Amino acid sequence: MNLNHYTYRVTWSPEDNEHLGLCVEFPSLSWLAETPELALVGIRQVVADVVGDLQSSGETIPQPLAEKHYSGEFRVRIPPELHRLLALQAAEQGISLNRLASAKLAG
């Protein structure tokens, strides 16, 4: 398990008037600090400590998102009326419904 492969974020917290370090794979963890650099150092240390605790207790450690395999496919359920509207838009543009949906998701 490479701790550098986790997804870390630093953002400003107006409520705390400090920078907030976060880790996507561990949504319950955070670290507040005066600077973005210290917030990143802090959250990385918290994650390292938690991963160490999980390892020593034999619990499951979240896999970094960067290491997961994505097939490029997923299902989305939408109302039939929206399905029809999107199919019409795709036909009018001369593209597949899949291509239209991909473009809308990317945009």
Name which of 20, 23, 17 is nearest 46 in CA terms.
23
pTM: 0.75
Residues 91 and 76 in one domain: yes
Residues 37 and 50 in one domain: yes
Residues 16 and 51 in one domain: yes
Residues 41 and 77 in one domain: no
pLDDT tens digit sequence for 6-61: 999 999 999 999 999 999 999 999 999 999 999 999 999 999 999 999 999 999 99
3-state secondary structure of 9: strand
Cβ–Cβ contacts within 10 Å for residue 72, how many? 5
Residue 107 has pLDDT above 90, yes or no: no
For residue 85, what are the domain limits? 70-106
Residue 95: in which H helix or E strand, if any? none
Total domains in the chain come to 2
Residues 49 and 79 in one domain: no
Cβ–Cβ contacts within 10 Å for residue 6, how many? 22
Predicted confidence band at 1 (pLDDT cuts at 50, 70, 90)?
confident
pLDDT of the residue at 89? 96
Residues 48 and 79 in one domain: no
Name which of 101, 103, 107 is nearest 78 in CA terms.
101
Residues 9 and 61 in one domain: yes
